[in-house]
Structures are given as structure tokens and as C-alpha cells.
Amino acid sequence: MEQQVSLASAKAALEKLRSLIGDITPDHVLSLSDEQLRACYFSRQKTSYARSLASAVTDKKLVIEELVNLSDERIRQELKQVKGIGDWTVDVFLLMSLHHIDVFPLGDIALLNSTRHIKKLDSTAGKVEIAMIAETWKPYRSIAAYLLWHAYLSKKEKVKSKK
């Protein structure tokens, strides 16, 4: 849900979805009409992606429990077979769900911006430059990502409280 939307928007969509179906399961998601998903703030594209993921799980094309035993690269290959899942989603899954310690989601805009700010980089510093910096944090890039996200959210909160 958080892909390409603010955390607040993703949270609102998640809460709306939970209020409609309770437990969020593939079967529950598939039982909803497009209109019901749109009422939960799903775009047409996110509706398609949610259905693809739910179908992959119910059809056993993707068995989430089996991913735990695979390498990061194999997990990436398996997940990216599902429509709508790309590198950012895989990275966040590895970090947030599987708690892998050496993941740095270069597709995350907040993470890139926070790195630029903390490292005092020019605003035009790109993913390649940031990836080279992140390489120095191996094998604990996930910890760096969490700290940088925290710094990003703290800075954002300070700006909000000044208004």
C-alpha cells in the first residue's frame, strides 16, 4: 500500500480496507469488487496489483512461508514474477517482514533524500552515488536504512510542528 503514496495515505487505505473486510487475507481481497477497493482508496493500478498478489497466493504460485528459506536473490526472483511487485516492494518485504540485515532500498525516495541530507550531498546526487555510500555500511545496510528513515520522519515532524 505504501508504494508511491505517503505513509498517511497508505495508513488510511489500510484502515478503510480493514474496516470493510476485517482480516486482510487473499480470499477477502479477491471477494471485493473494484468499486469496493476504490472506496478503500485503491487506484485502478493498485487494484490490479492487489488482485495479482492475492491470486498468486491463493493459486499457490507464490507460497510466502517458503520464501524464508531462500536467498535474497531467489526471493527477489519469486516475488517479481507477481504483477506490480518490483525491487522496492521486494526490498521492503526483506526488511520489514523477513528482517534481513543487509538491504538498502535504493528505490525509496525518502531514504534517498534522507541520505542526501545526512551526508550533505547535492540534491542531484543519484542512486549510483548513494549506492556507493551504502556499500560502506555492509553487512548492516538495513540498520542504516532504518536510521535514515527515522531521521527523515523526525525532520518532517519538526517542520510540521513549526507550522
Convert the pLDDT of each residue in 28-40 to its tens digit: 999 999 999 999 9
Distance CA 67, CA 14 (A): 24
Element containing residue 67 per DSSP (H, E): helix 64-67
pTM for the model: 0.86
Q: Which of the pair, 6 or 36, is modelled with greater confidence?
A: 36
In the predicted structure, residue 157 carries a pLDDT above the cut 80: no
Q: What confidence score (pLDDT) does residue 156 get?
A: 74
Asked whether the bond before 139 is cis by omega within 30 degrees of 0, the reply is yes
Q: What confidence score (pLDDT) does residue 155 get?
A: 83
Architecture in CATH for domain 1-61: Orthogonal Bundle (1.10)
In the chain, CATH 1.10.340.30 covers: 1-61
